[in-house]
Amino acid sequence: MATSETPSGIAETAVRRTAWWEPALKARETGLIVIILALFAVMSFISPYFLTVDNLRAMAMVFAIESIVVVGMTILLISGGIDLSVGSVTALAMVAAGWLFLNGVDPWVAAGLAICLTTLIGMAMGFLTTVIGLHHFIVSLGVMVIARGVCLLATGGRPLGLYSLPPEFKFIGQGALGGIPLVLIIFAVVVVAFDLLLRRTTAFRKVFYTGSNPKAAAYSGIRVGRVVFATTTLCSMLCGVAGVIYMARFGSAQPSFGVGMELNVIAAAVIGGASLSGGSGTILGAILGAILLSVVSSSLALLNVSVYWQDIIRGSILLTAVLFDHYLVRRRR
């Protein structure tokens, strides 16, 4: 009798713990909105170019595509994992699709195969972490180096010019519907879809239980390995989607693209409330984190701040977010 009641009790505890965190996450999201609006107000006063259509469009395009990867990273972090290879895998998707296109493959087929490739990479990482038992950090670090090496090997270290890409394919990254860039529409669909799945479906709620307490989740009947495998695969798949969009936007495949992207993506998720310890986070918070970083980067560029100082500032923001997350985790315990 006691055995049959234990899983239910554990699941209920996990639900209560998640509910307890929701006000804190909402407070963080509100705080991020206030900070973003304050930055907009300050920068509009300092620089006459900040609120121009061209600058706002440039900011939106940069953060929208990268935020597709942020969505995947957020879900993976909630489940207790992490992926340092997102920048290299995104570049690999670009290079794979571009290389196939230059070798006579239809661009749509090439794009689909590139996304399949990154999905398989995610499955391989999921296998190594959940079945073999290797740590996410080590596995993704190895994949990061391998994927970047493949990109450089396949291209000779030079960008692939895709000058003959058909206009309908370039439309993905350059076109607009009703005056709204298609990239923003794709971004909105991805964000809304996964936000609803994460908040409203039982399958995705298991991600929170898994990240919060894997042992308790396993006792309650959740197949923890499958959850982590799925979130790892999803993150890599979304890297493939982002890579294809980048290729359509730039009309080229750049083997060095995405260097340092992993730091931006992780920073956005953590700033938005995703815990490096797993078990908490929201898609909305992560997107607000991505917007904040995009506004900061644009502001620093408009103020002609040295690129070296920009790296220092971005690194400081990430470290501050991690320290704040560590503080919240210790308070919870």
The listed range with the strongest mean pLDDT (9-13, 91-95, 248-252) is 91-95
Question: Which pLDDT value is given to residue 21?
Answer: 47
Cβ atoms of residues 66 and 264 within 8 Å? yes
Each residue's pLDDT tens digit, 42-72 = 998 898 888 888 888 888 888 899 999 999 9
Q: At residue 259, does pLDDT exceed 70?
A: yes
Q: Which residue type is seen at 220?
A: S
CB environment 298-327: b (16+ within 10 A), e (fewer) = bbbeeeeeeeeebeeebeebbeebbeebee
Question: Which pLDDT value is given to residue 247?
Answer: 95
Question: Which pLDDT value is given to residue 321?
Answer: 80
Question: Which pLDDT value is given to residue 25?
Answer: 54
Could you tell me where the beta strands, DSSP code E, fall in 83-193? 160-161, 176-177, 180-181
Would you say the C-alpha torsion 288, 68, 301, 249 has a positive or negative sign?
Answer: negative
Cβ atoms of residues 43 and 302 within 8 Å? yes
CB environment 232-254: b (16+ within 10 A), e (fewer) = bbbbbbbbbbbbbbbbbbbbbbb
Q: Which residue type is seen at 280?
A: S
Domain ranges in the chain are 2-39+52-332
Fold of 2-39+52-332: ABC transporter involved in vitamin B12 uptake, BtuC (1.10.3470)
How far is CA 248 from each of CA 10, 47, 63, rounded to the nearest angstrom? 47, 31, 16
Question: Which pLDDT value is given to residue 11?
Answer: 45
Query: Which phi and psi (to 5°) does residue 254 adopt?
Result: -110, 115
* 196 vs 15, higher pLDDT: 196
Indicate the pLDDT class of residue 23, thresholds 50, 70 and 90: low
Residue 85's contacts (CB-CB under 8 Å, 6 or more residues apart) are 121, 125, 140, 141, 143, 144, 147, 236, 262
The listed range with the strongest mean pLDDT (220-229, 273-282, 306-315) is 220-229
pTM of the model: 0.88
Nearest Cα residue to 138 out of 89, 83, 214, 69: 83
Indicate the pLDDT class of residue 22, thresholds 50, 70 and 90: low
Question: Which pLDDT value is given to residue 197?
Answer: 94
Each residue's pLDDT tens digit, 214-245 = 999 999 999 999 999 999 999 999 999 999 99
Cβ atoms of residues 152 and 258 within 8 Å? no
Each residue's pLDDT tens digit, 287-302 = 999 999 999 988 998 8
Q: Which residue type is seen at 308?
A: Y
